[in-house]
Structure formats: structure tokens, C-alpha cells
DNA sequence: GACATTATATCCAAGGCGGATATAATCCCC
DNA sequence: GGGGATTATATCCGCCTTGGATATAATGTC
């Protein structure tokens, strides 16, 4: 399953994969920066380990949900170790589908009175 | 970790565990009925396998999130094979916390423009 | 009484995860 | 400019959860 086929077959998205895609929604980022972005965005609740991050990135590349860019956001001050990644349209679609799926879960929980009201 | 301690340590809840707790939110149910309830409630998207179900039930019992009841909803027509389960207050709290966590994920995805609007 | 369905339980292999380890480039400060 | 902390990527290990297969037995149906 390289980079085609229905998005549904990718769901449910692995939690780490979802976080990475969301972190790349706004800007291209390199791996280490993704870890920091996710931690910051979740208030420290989600701290991707290095092992999880780089394995997830490999899978996302194979699935065509992200791609590596040679562009450097700030060409002058650069760090040759960094590898920057960009979300693809397909990656955006996958993240959107996953978000919808999560939203449905919350809806079901609400229908069963688990959640007081809507947040 | 038998059945005490902060709810947060239980999060994230395994997907199967969350579905089971939600299915038990309204009524006591036996294992097989939980599978059917989850499948019905999700429009067939989530079909818990038998292996997943019974192992998840064991964990939930150990964690004090559900308990087994001897009560039979309909005492007359009964099936001696069935084992009925009931959600505990702690289980309800765990499901609520997990739903909140999921809701936060959706919010983050929205903040990054992944999701068009609110569902 | 035979056969499909219901119902619980266990085993196996696959996949995702955190944490540890390795290696190297970059930064900072004295 | 030399040395140590930090940044950055990568791989390995073991644990946990999962779907699917298998087993066993009670119940329902005709």
C-alpha cells in the first residue's frame, strides 16, 4: 500500500501518526521539532518518544501522507542534520478523516450520557 | 494497579476498552451483546473480535472499571452461558476522561485547520 | 435429533509504543 | 578554541493491544 487507495483503509490512524500530521498542518518541520510542537500543543500530555517518531515518519512516507523536502525554511542558519517533512494532500485527507472518526466516538459517548455536555 | 489511583494513569484508554465502557453505560450487558451493541452503534465500523473482547473484559475487571453481576435482566428466559457486566463509577469516570481526551484531540486538529468546522 | 447460531475462552502473529542505546552535528561559554 | 550540554536522527528491545483462528459448549430451530 504505497500511496494510493481509499483513505478509509488507513483508519484508524495510529495516535502518533495523527499527531505528526497535525503538527505538519501549518508548516514544514523536522523530526525533533515535531516532538516539541506536539508536546507544546498538548500541554505536555503527549510526548512522542524518538523511537516512535522516526518509525512513524517512515510509515507516513511509505503511505504517501508526508514527503521530505530539500527546502530550508531559513537557508542561511541551517543544521545539516535536520530532515524536513511536509504534509501531502492525501495526508491532510487522512488526518481529516481521523478527526471525524474521533469526533464520532465523542458523539457516541455523549449519546450514552458519558459526557456531561459539549466541550 | 488493581482498582484505585488517579484516573489519569489509565489514559489513554485502549480503544476496545472505551467502546466496552460506552456500551455498558446504559444497561448491563453480556460479552456477546457488547460486540453487537458496538457494531450497531458505530454502523458496523467497529467490530470487536472475540479475542479482543474477552481479554479487554478481563483487564477492565482487574482495573475495577466494570464488575460482573449475578443479576439477570430477564430471569425467566435465561442463558446460563452468559456473563453480565456492569460499569462502575470508576469506569464511568475513566470513559468520561477518555472522551474528554479525544475531544481535545479534535480541538487541536481544528485549531490547525484540519477539520473544516465543527461537526 | 441434526444443524446453525449464540456465547465464552485461549492461542498466535503482527503492529505500535516507550525507553534505552548509539552516533554525530551544533551550540555555548569560559 | 576546546569541552560539555543540547540538538537531531536512527535502531533495538520488550510490552501491550489487536484481529483472526481455533476450541468448546449451550441454546434455538425445524
Residue at B116 is within a domain: no
Under an 8 A CB cutoff, do B99 and A106 touch?
Answer: yes
Number of compact structural domains in chain A: 1
- Chain position carrying cell 473480535: B49
Residue at B6 is within a domain: no
pLDDT in tens, B40-85: 999 999 999 999 999 999 999 999 999 999 998 887 778 999 999 9
Task: Specify the pTM.
Answer: 0.93
Q: What is the pLDDT of residue A74?
A: 79
Which residue from A minimizes the CA distance to B38?
A108
**Chain mean position to CA B2:** 18
Q: Which nucleotide is nearest to A36 (CA to C1')?
A: D7
- In the predicted structure, residue A19 carries a pLDDT above the cut 90: yes
CATH number at residue B63: 1.10.10.10
Band the pLDDT of B102: cuts 50, 70, 90: very high
- In the predicted structure, residue A4 carries a pLDDT above the cut 80: no
Between B116 and B109, the more confident residue is B109
Q: How far apart are CA B58 and CA A85, in angstroms?
A: 42
pLDDT in tens, A63-113: 999 999 999 887 777 899 999 999 999 999 999 999 999 999 999 999 999
Annotate A105-119 with DSSP letters as a single string: HHHHHHHTT-SSS--
Total CB pairs under 8 A between chain A and B: 88
Give a three-class secondary structure readout of A18-76.
Answer: HHHHHHCCCCCEEHHHHHHHHHHHCCCCCCCCHHHHHHHHHHHHHCCCEEEECCCCCCC
- How buried is A71 (Cβ within 10 angstroms: 0-12 exposed, 13-18 middle, 19+ buried)? exposed
Residue at A119 is within a domain: no
CB B100 within 8 A of CB B46: no
Q: Which residues of B touch A119 (CB under 8 A)?
A: 100, 103-104, 107
Range of the domain at A40: 11-111
Residue at B117 is within a domain: no
Chain A stretch 45-104, residues whose beta carbon is closer than 8 A to a beta carbon of chain B: 45, 92, 95-96, 98-104
Average pLDDT over residues A10-23: 97
Under an 8 A CB cutoff, do B103 and A106 touch?
Answer: yes
- State percent of chain B over pLDDT 90: 84
Residue at B47 is within a domain: yes
Residue at B2 is within a domain: no
Q: Which residues of A touch B114 (CB under 8 A)?
A: 21-22, 25, 92, 95-96, 99
- How buried is A22 (Cβ within 10 angstroms: 0-12 exposed, 13-18 middle, 19+ buried)? buried
Residue at A2 is within a domain: no
**Strand A66-69 versus strand B29-30 pairing type:** unpaired
CB A85 within 8 A of CB A29: yes
pLDDT in tens, A43-67: 999 999 999 999 999 999 999 999 9
Q: What is the pLDDT of residue A8?
A: 92
Residue at A60 is within a domain: yes
Q: Which residues of B touch A15 (CB under 8 A)?
A: 12
Cα torsion angle, B52, B55, B58, B59, sign: negative
Residue B66 φ then ψ, to 5° = -140, 165
Cα torsion angle, B49, B54, B60, B63, sign: negative
Amino acid at each position: 500500500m504505497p500511496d494510493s487507495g481509499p483513505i478509509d483503509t488507513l483508519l484508524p490512524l495510529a495516535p502518533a501518526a495523527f499527531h505528526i500530521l497535525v503538527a505538519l498542518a501549518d508548516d514544514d518541520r523536522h523530526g525533533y521539532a515535531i516532538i516539541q510542537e506536539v508536546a507544546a500543543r498538548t500541554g505536555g500530555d503527549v510526548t512522542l518518544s524518538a523511537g516512535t517518531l522516526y518509525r512513524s515518519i517512515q510509515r507516513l512516507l511509505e503511505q504517501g501522507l508526508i514527503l521530505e523536502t530539500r527546502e530550508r525554511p531559513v537557508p542561511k542558519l541551517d543544521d545539516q542534520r535536520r530532515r524536513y517533512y511536509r504534509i501531502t494532500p492525501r495526508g491532510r485527507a487522512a488526518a481529516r478523516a481521523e478527526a471525524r472518526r474521533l469526533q464520532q466516538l465523542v458523539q457516541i459517548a455523549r449519546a450514552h450520557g458519558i459526557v456531561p455536555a459539549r466541550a
